[in-house]
Amino acid sequence: MFPRAAWERIMDAPASHDASASKIAFPRSAWERDTTINQETKMLKIENLHVSVGDKPILKGLNLEINAGEVHAIMGPNGAGKSTLSHVLSGKPGYNITEGKVTYMGEDLLDMDPEIRSREGVFLAFQYPVEIPGVSNIYLLKAALNSIRKHNGLDEVDAMDFLTMVKDKIKLLEMDEKFLYRAVNEGFSGGEKKRNEILQAAILEPKLCILDETDSGLDIDALKIVAEGVNSLRAAERSFLMITHYQRLLDYIKPDIVHVLADGQIVKSGGPELALELEAKGYQWVEGQAA
Amino acid sequence: MSSSAKEVENLIAQEYTQGFVTDIEVETFPPGLDEEVIAKLSKIKNEPEFMLEYRLKAFRHWQTMKEPDWAQLNIEPIDYQAISYYSAPKKDSDKPQSLDEIDPELLETYKKLGIPLDEQERLAGVAVDAVFDSVSVATTFKGKLNDVGVIFCPISEALQEHPELVKQYLGTVVPEGDNFFAALNAAVFTDGSFVYIPKGVRCPMELSTYFRINAANTGQFERTLIIADEDSHVSYLEGCTAPMRDENQLHAAVVELVAMDNAEIKYSTVQNWYPGDENGVGGIYNFVTKRAECRGHNSKVSWTQVETGSAITWKYPSCVLLGDNSVGEFYSVALTNNYQQADTGTKMIHIGKNTSSTIISKGISAGKAQNTYRGLVKVGKGAENARNYTQCDSLLVGDRCGAHTFPYVEVKQPSAQVEHEATTSKISEDQLFFCQQRGLSAEDAVSMIVNGFCKEVFKELPMEFAVEAQALLGISLEGSVG
């Protein structure tokens, strides 16, 4: 039964206890300990992926491999299929996968329900985070963390330990604690919504973090804060797939590999310098190459 | 959960399977209703003469009345002669001795709700009157309440011990001919709770009644009468459960509240009668008249209801604001799933000066259910500076259910201010996917979103029952997402 209401009451009450009093070490989750990824094992392997919406093909034979610890950026013009890729990987309904295969940690990703993908460590930072009136941010965060912990055979965290943990993370993103008690994304500015997404990633500690146009709608100050948050999450066993329209984000989050997505395919891959070249020459340059 | 809690849980499960619910010997009247049945009922209860007269008057009136047909409800015809009007445990020794024995179903529900058992221990700190079919079987904490002069007992007992009080107030808020179901109740009610809070007393604990329909083919007609004398305060809660049966069962209750000068009554309901199965077979017909009279100046009555059960709910807890500066409040969550129907709301009748009322209604419809809010705000000629605020929100889960809103406003006083806000929304696929992407199952996500939607009402409930209500919503929504 989901609403573990006993703690929810505590969550709804303003925090009054001394946070330092309950310094409980959070056990590294089982899945983090167990999955010392063999260099040979890809974290994510996308092979010849074809996806349509209705009858319209969007992705047309996309191939991509991401190793543990790598940061990949996918750039591309509007309508190239960037958001479709992030939605298909996270399991959003409404897409027809007509061909191809996606392997995540050696498992068939496309076979998993969206919540299972999440619990297995796939996180999507949404381009347009939704509002959930009446549900406090901290309630959602704790419910999410516990569903993931439960899936991985761990005990649920109690309210006090959780609060301590969240307070540490929230400082990182220069967010006010009041955010925790506000309804999920309700009345948040664009920048606050994006920071909130990164806060969720910081708490859920995913293995594969997909950032869908995380830079859109951010001013430069907010962009820096979000980027710092993302950078602090970089780890040897965590990979990132950043989807972006502009090179600007990559000034703050340095990718290992940059891909250009055009007309449903990866048409070019390279180092960070590719992004700069793209910025200088425009997408027509790669679109010309694809043809 | 600790091992001892586990043991208790197992014990409860055992009690449930042994089931005094099925084993109990009951005395039940044969089906049918006439003056003879009423006389017999009154005699069994050893009622004072005025009660029989009251009942017969109500019955005669009832015979001239028709069932109301104005509600947005589809009701199968009810054969009132096929119902038994009295059912009670036969021997005193069959009566449960403690709360645990009274309602294993309720404890079972708690178990399913995942509420820790220590919560239940805390619940035991609430004075409870348990009504099993037609009779009240146990009232707890009577002594402690007696010390401060609070009377909390079955109404049948009040008729023996305090007939003058009952006579003074019974039927003064809901007259015996008020409406079809209220008249039927007045004729045949068998038990219920009676509360009297004397002048200047703040009731030291929550008072609570658990109603349970057990026997098949019986109706339950309980009567609750609460009087808060000057400067007094009471918080009262009722909970309702019933076993699963394929036939519809009738529940026609009447609740009357009287608040004198500066008195305050808070009345909370968590209604979880059996709603019928997913095909709409069985379930309780819940036709209830609840009305409060704020007779005194500065008096206040607050209704909070969480309605998740019953096949059909027809219920409009109302406030008549007679005293100057009196306040009426109505906070409601009505959830319907599968084939459930609810037509519920409130009436706020402003008569005194500077009276104010607040209505917050949250209707949730899932499956193939129909959910209707119906409310009346009436401001009389003399109600200077009357104020009302109404907020009426509907949430749809899926695309086969319906939400309807019928607000009526009648204002005869130019200085009155009446506000009405209404919204209808649907749980969006984007919200669902967002929650799933954070690891929640679709059902948990719906439950969470619905709980968020109801937050303004839940915060009005006493703490323990807010917990119960939240969990109930989750259970009631099971199977609402495909």
* Cα–Cα nearest to B219, from B113, B123, B78, B355: B78
* Cα–Cα nearest to A175, from A158, A191, A157, A159: A191
What integer pLDDT is reported at residue B245 of this predicted model?
A: 61
Residue B466 to residue A3, Cβ atoms within 8 A:
no
**Interface confidence (ipTM) of the complex:** 0.85
* Cα of A49 to nearest chain B Cα, Å: 21
Residue B437 to residue A90, Cβ atoms within 8 A:
yes
Residues 6+ apart with CB under 8 A from B166: B155, B158, B159, B194, B225
Residue B448 to residue A135, Cβ atoms within 8 A:
yes
DSSP letter assigned to residue B100: H
Buried b (16+ CB within 10 A) or exposed e, A7-27: bbebbbeebeeeeeeeeeeee
**Amino acid identity for residue B197 in this structure:** I
**Amino acid identity for residue B279 in this structure:** N
Residue A3 to residue B112, Cβ atoms within 8 A:
no
Residue B436 to residue A5, Cβ atoms within 8 A:
no
What integer pLDDT is reported at residue B206 of this predicted model?
A: 81
**Amino acid identity for residue B99 in this structure:** L
CA–CA dist B43, B190 (Å, integer)? 11
Task: Identify the residue whose tokens are 């167990």.
Answer: A34
Average pLDDT per consecutive 10 residues, chain B (482 residues; last block may be shorter): 35 27 62 92 92 95 91 86 79 47 50 39 52 54 83 90 95 94 93 92 84 65 94 87 67 95 94 78 88 97 89 93 97 89 94 97 90 95 96 89 93 95 89 94 88 86 73 69 53
> Which residue on chain B is closest to A123 by alpha carbon?
B437
Helix (H/G/I), strand (E/B), else coil: B349 = strand
Residue B52 structure tokens: 């029989």
Q: Measured between beta carbons, which residues in chain B are less than 8 angstroms from residue A134? A: 451-456
- Rounded to 5 degrees, φ, ψ at B336 are -125, 135
Residue A124 to residue B466, Cβ atoms within 8 A:
no
- Rounded to 5 degrees, φ, ψ at A32 are -75, -40
Q: Within a 10 A sphere around the Cβ of B412, how many other Cβ atoms?
A: 13
DSSP letter assigned to residue B323: S
Helix (H/G/I), strand (E/B), else coil: B282 = coil
Residue A124 to residue B429, Cβ atoms within 8 A:
no
Give every residue of chain A whose pLDDT is below 50, as ranges.
Answer: 1-39, 291
Residue B112 to residue A143, Cβ atoms within 8 A:
no
* Cα of A8 to nearest chain B Cα, Å: 9
Q: Measured between beta carbons, which residues in chain B are less than 8 angstroms from residue A145? A: 439
Which one of B437, B456, B470, B477 makes the best mutation probe of the A interface by having the most chain A beta carbons within 10 Å? B437
| Residue A282 burial (10 A CB sphere; 0-12, 13-18, 19+) | exposed
CA–CA dist B65, B60 (Å, integer)? 9
CB B24 within 8 A of CB B89: yes
Residue A144 structure tokens: 């999410």
Half-sphere exposure of B146 (CA within 13 A, CB side): 6
Residue B113 to residue A6, Cβ atoms within 8 A:
no
CB B208 within 8 A of CB B239: yes
**Amino acid identity for residue A132 in this structure:** I
What is the torsion angle, in degrees rounded to the nearest 10, for the CA atoms of residue A56, residue A58, residue A62 and residue A68?
A: -130
Q: What is the secondary structure of chain A as a DSSP string? A: ----HHHHHHHHSPP-S-GGGG--PPPPPHHHHH----TTS-SEEEEEEEEEETTEEEEEEEEEEE-TT-EEEEE--TTSSHHHHHHHHHT-SS-EEEEEEEEETTEEGGGS-HHHHHHTTEEEE-SSPPPEEEEEHHHHHHHHHHHHHHHTT-PPPPHHHHHHHHHHHHHHTT--THHHHSEETTT--HHHHHHHHHHHHHHH--SEEEEESTTTT--HHHHHHHHHHHHHH-BTTBEEEEEES-THHHHHS--SEEEEEETTEEEEEESTHHHHHHHHH-HHHHHHHH-
Residue B448 to residue A126, Cβ atoms within 8 A:
no
Q: Measured between beta carbons, which residues in chain B are less than 8 angstroms from residue A135? A: 448-449, 451-452, 455
Q: Measured between beta carbons, which residues in chain B are less than 8 angstroms from residue A148? A: 439
Residue B439 to residue A204, Cβ atoms within 8 A:
yes
Helix (H/G/I), strand (E/B), else coil: B340 = coil
The residues with which B262 forms a beta bridge, in sequence order, are none
First to last CA, chain A: 54
**Angle in degrees, 0-180, between the axes of helices A220-233 and A159-172, rounded to the nearest 10:** 130
Residue from the list A8, A92, A143 with its beta carbon closest to the beta carbon of B440: A143
Residue B438 to residue A119, Cβ atoms within 8 A:
no
Q: Measured between beta carbons, which residues in chain B are less than 8 angstroms from residue A10? A: none
Say whether residue A273 is in contact with chain B using an 8 A CB cutoff: no
Residue B408 structure tokens: 């009526």
- Rounded to 5 degrees, φ, ψ at B448 are -70, -45
What integer pLDDT is reported at residue A234 of this predicted model?
A: 93
Q: Looking only at Cα atoms, what is the longest distance across chain A?
A: 63
| Residue A59 burial (10 A CB sphere; 0-12, 13-18, 19+) | buried
Say whether residue A130 is in contact with chain B using an 8 A CB cutoff: yes
* Cα–Cα nearest to B276, from B192, B368, B201, B362: B368
Half-sphere exposure of B23 (CA within 13 A, CB side): 11
CB B463 within 8 A of CB A9: yes
Q: Measured between beta carbons, which residues in chain B are less than 8 angstroms from residue A117? A: 437
Helix (H/G/I), strand (E/B), else coil: B77 = coil
**Amino acid identity for residue B51 in this structure:** M
Say whether residue A112 is in contact with chain B using an 8 A CB cutoff: no
Q: Measured between beta carbons, which residues in chain B are less than 8 angstroms from residue A118? A: 436-439
Residue from the list A2, A118, A128 with its beta carbon closest to the beta carbon of B438: A118
Q: Tell me how many residue pairs between chain A and chain B have CB atoms under 8 A apart.
A: 111
> Number of helices (H) and strands (E), helices first, in chain B?
15, 23
Residue from the list A3, A123, A183 with its beta carbon closest to the beta carbon of B471: A3
- DSSP strand pairing (B387-397 vs B207-212): unpaired
Helix (H/G/I), strand (E/B), else coil: B344 = strand
* Cα of B279 to nearest chain A Cα, Å: 24
The residues with which B456 forms a beta bridge, in sequence order, are none
Q: Measured between beta carbons, which residues in chain A are less than 8 angstroms from residue B444? A: 2, 143, 147
Residue from the list B430, B441, B453 with its beta carbon closest to the beta carbon of A115: B441
Residue from the list A1, A4, A140 with its beta carbon closest to the beta carbon of B438: A140
- Does CATH place domain A2-290 in 3.40.50.300? yes
Distances (CA, A) of A106 to A40, A42, A103, A211, A224: 11, 7, 6, 22, 35
Which residues 157-176 in chain A show a CB within 8 A of chain B?
none
Which one of A87, A135, A150 makes the best mutation probe of the B interface by having the most chain B beta carbons within 10 Å? A135
Residue B451 to residue A114, Cβ atoms within 8 A:
no
Which one of B306, B393, B395, B433 makes the best mutation probe of the A interface by having the most chain A beta carbons within 10 Å? B433
Residues 6+ apart with CB under 8 A from A75: A244, A245, A247, A258, A259, A260, A261, A275, A278
Say whether residue A53 is in contact with chain B using an 8 A CB cutoff: no
Residue from the list B113, B442, B452 with its beta carbon closest to the beta carbon of A135: B452
Q: What is the secondary structure of B386-408 as a DSSP string? A: -EEEEEEEEEEESSS-EEEEEEE
**Whole-model pTM over 0.80:** no
CA–CA dist A231, A254 (Å, integer)? 9
Residues 6+ apart with CB under 8 A from B417: B385, B386, B387, B388
Helix (H/G/I), strand (E/B), else coil: B216 = coil
> Which residue on chain B is closest to A150 by alpha carbon?
B439
Residue A2 to residue B440, Cβ atoms within 8 A:
yes
CA–CA dist B133, B437 (Å, integer)? 47
Residue B444 to residue A151, Cβ atoms within 8 A:
no
> Which residue on chain A is closest to B427 by alpha carbon?
A132
Task: Identify the residue whose tokens are 């479709």.
Answer: A84
Q: Measured between beta carbons, which residues in chain A are less than 8 angstroms from residue B434? A: 126, 129-130, 132
Interface residues of chain B, partner chain A, Cβ below 8 Å: 112-116, 119, 428-431, 433-444, 447-449, 451-456, 463, 466-467, 470-471, 473-475
